Amino acid sequence: MSKRKTVVLSLGGSLIVPEGGIDTKFITGFRKLVARRAGAGRRFVLVCGGGTTCRAYQRAASEVAKPTVEELDQLGIEVTRLNARFMRLVFGAKAHPDIIIDPTAPVRVSRPIVVGAGWKPGSSSDLDAVLLARKFGADTLINLTNIDHVYDSDPRKDPSARPIKEISWKEYLKMFGTKWIPGLNSPFDPVAAKMARRLGLKVAIVNGRKLKNLEALLDGKKFVGTLIG
């Protein structure tokens, strides 16, 4: 690997394809932000999730058939790969031409943007992001989601939910559990969380839609979000 500084972004699928369809306005702004900073000694590794589309497919499959847990996971993985193909096209010539599917396989990268997707059943694409952070020597991973913080309870159900600015991996796993379920909607996949804890990796949870906030984080300035680890 080259000695570029690497920034790993785990991009939630619900940011790429929210309920109303592909959000081209967000994608355009996100592309400008990342492309402007990629290069000159800095690499971006972008790992795409499945999000709303993934859960819609899994829900529909469970209504009309009896898929196994592994089959539901594999369905979700295919959605992450479609999202990744799309995002690779978005970044054009700046992006490595191949989607990284196996984060443990050897890879030679010369371009400043790398796009990855889901690998195998048993976890979400968050784990792939953690493994790619290890591969490229990143010590912090930015998880882009549609919430501003990790909260002490579900803010959609509990109006008194309080935001958490910093939390240890031990406390996070105690709060959100350690098991993976296909389609699980948690701030960070518990399987990925256990791996990040073992690696000593820090994860910042931020609202990906707030691009100015993401810009502040990338520039080492004060940001709104939750730092785990």
> Model confidence over 47-77: pLDDT tens digits?
999 989 999 999 999 999 999 999 999 999 9
CB 155 within 8 A of CB 87: no
Residue 169, pLDDT score = 95
Q: What percent of the chain has pLDDT over 90?
A: 79
In angstroms, the Cα distances linking 23 to 30, 160, 161, 185 are 11, 30, 28, 20
Is 70 exceeded by the pLDDT of residue 91?
yes
Q: How many helical (H) and strand (E) elements, i.e. helices and strands, does the chain have?
A: 8, 9
CATH architecture for segment(s) 5-228: 3-Layer(aba) Sandwich (3.40)
> Can you tell me the mean pLDDT for 122-149?
92
Q: Decide which of 62 and 1 is more confident.
A: 62
- Rounded to two decimals, the pTM is 0.92
The strand pairing partners of 5, in sequence order, are 42
Local structure of 182: helix, strand or coil: coil
Local structure of 227: helix, strand or coil: strand
The mean predicted confidence, pLDDT, of the chain is 92
Residue 183, pLDDT score = 63
**Domains of the chain by residue range:** 5-228
Q: Decide which of 227 and 146 is more confident.
A: 227
- Give the pLDDT band (50/70/90) at residue 1: very low
* Cα 202 from Cα 139, distance rounded (Å): 6
* Cα 100 from Cα 97, distance rounded (Å): 10
- Helix then strand then coil, in percent of the chain rounded to 5, is 40, 20, 40
> Can you tell me the mean pLDDT for 32-50?
93
DSSP state of 94: G
| Contact partners, residue 108, CB within 8 Å, separation at least 6 | none
